[in-house]
Chain A
Amino acid sequence: MFFILFIFSLSTLSCYKATVKPFSKHQKEELIRRYSSYPKWFWQMPHSNNTLFAVGYAQTYFYRESSIEEATANGIKILAKYVSVRIQGERGSKDTVLGPEFAGEDFKEELEEGVLDSVKKNYKVVATETVGNITLVLLCIGEVPALSSEKGFNREFPGWVSELPQRHGFLYAVGQSDQQFHEEETWQLAEYNACLSLALSFYSQLRSLGKKLDMNLNTASAVKTDVVLKRIQVVERWFDPENRIPYVLVRVPLKDKGSKIYK
Chain B
Amino acid sequence: MKHKLTFLTSAFMLSSLIFITSCSSTRAPKTTEIDVPIWFTNIPTDPNYLFSSATARSQDLQHAVNTAKEEARVGIARQMRVKISGLFKRFREETGIGEDAEFLSMETDVSKSVVSETLVGCKTRTQKTLREGTLYRIYVLMELPIGAASKEMLAKIKENERMYTRYRASQGFKELEEEVEKYEKIKK
CA distance A99 to B134 in the complex (A): 16
Query: Which residues 160-206 of A have a CB within 8 angstroms of B?
Result: 161-164, 171-174, 176-178, 189, 193, 197, 200-206
Q: Does B126 contact A (CB under 8 A)?
A: yes
B98-139: contact bitstring with A at CB < 8 Å (1 yes, 0 no)?
000000000000000001110111111111110101100000
Instruction: Tell me the bound Cα distance from A100 to B68 in angstroms.
Output: 8
Q: Counting CB contacts under 8 A, is A207 at the interface?
A: yes
Chain A to chain B contacts (Cβ below 8 Å), 21 pairs: A11-B15, A93-B66, A93-B71, A99-B56, A99-B57, A100-B68, A100-B70, A101-B58, A164-B124, A174-B127, A176-B62, A178-B60, A202-B120, A205-B117, A205-B119, A206-B119, A221-B74, A223-B70, A223-B73, A223-B119, A255-B187
CB of B8 within 8 Å of the partner chain: yes
A4: which B residues are within 8 A, CB to CB? 8, 11
B11-A201 in contact (CB<8A) = no
**CB proximity to A under 8 Å, residues B68-93:** 68-71, 73-74, 77
* CB < 8 Å neighbour of A102 from B12, B63, B120, B133: B63
A208 and B80 CA atoms in complex are apart in Å by: 13
In the complex, per-residue mask of B30-72: 1 if CB is within 8 Å of any chain A CB, else 0: 0000000000000000000000001111101111111111110
User: In the assembly, what is the distance between CA of A171 and CA of B122, in Å?
Assistant: 10
Decide if B62 touches A193 in the complex (CB within 8 Å).
yes
B15 touches A100 (CB 8 A): no
A245 CB–B CB distance under 8 Å: yes
Chain A, residues 197-240, CB within 8 Å of chain B (1/0): the string is 10011111111100000000001010100000000000000000
Interface residues of A (CB under 8 A from B): 3-4, 7-8, 10-12, 14-15, 18-20, 91, 93, 99-102, 105, 161-164, 171-174, 176-178, 189, 193, 197, 200-208, 219, 221, 223, 243, 245, 254-255
Is the pair A202, B121 in contact by a Cβ cutoff of 8 Å?
A: yes
Kindly list chain A residues whose C-beta atoms are within 8 Å of the C-beta of B165: none
Of B63, B64, B67, B121, the residue contacting A171 (CB under 8 A) is B121
B interface size (C-beta, 8 A): 48
A11 neighbours in B (Cβ, 8 Å): 15-16, 18-19, 22
Residues of chain A contacted by B121 (CB below 8 angstroms):
171, 201-202
- CB-based A-B contact count at 8 angstroms: 126
Residues of chain A lying within 8 A (CB to CB) of residue B125: 163-164
Residues of A within 8 A of B66 (CB): 91, 93, 102, 105
B27 within 8 A of A: no
A7 to B134, CA, bound (A): 29
Measured between beta carbons, the chain A residues less than 8 angstroms from B64 are 102
Q: Is B188 an interface residue (CB 8 A)?
A: yes
Which residues between 1 and 17 of chain B lie within 8 Å of chain A, taking CB atoms? 8, 11-12, 15-16
Chain A residue with Cβ nearest B17: A11
A254–B183 alpha-carbon span in the complex (Å): 14
Which residues of A have CB within 8 Å of B117? 205
**Beta-carbon contact of A162 and B127 below 8 Å:** yes
CA distance A215 to B22 in the complex (A): 41
**Which residue of chain A is the closest to B16 with respect to CB atoms?**
A11
**B23 is an interface residue with CB less than 8 A from chain A:** yes
Smallest CB gap from B134: residue in A: A20
Q: How far is the CA of A201 from the CA of B122 in the complex (A)?
A: 5
Q: A171: which B residues are within 8 A, CB to CB?
A: 121, 123
Q: Which of A19, A20, A204 has the most CB of B within 10 A?
A: A204
Determine the distance from Cα of A30 to Cα of B19 in the docked complex, in whole angstroms.
Answer: 38
User: Are B73 and A162 in contact (CB-based, < 8 A)?
Assistant: no
Q: Name the residue of chain A whose CB is nearest to the CB of B116.
A: A207
Name the distance in Å between A128's Cβ and chain B's nearest Cβ.
Answer: 29
Sample of 15 further A-B pairs with CB below 8 A, known A8-B11, A8-B15, A172-B123: A4-B8, A10-B15, A12-B22, A100-B56, A101-B58, A164-B124, A177-B61, A178-B60, A200-B122, A202-B120, A203-B120, A204-B122, A205-B119, A206-B119, A255-B188
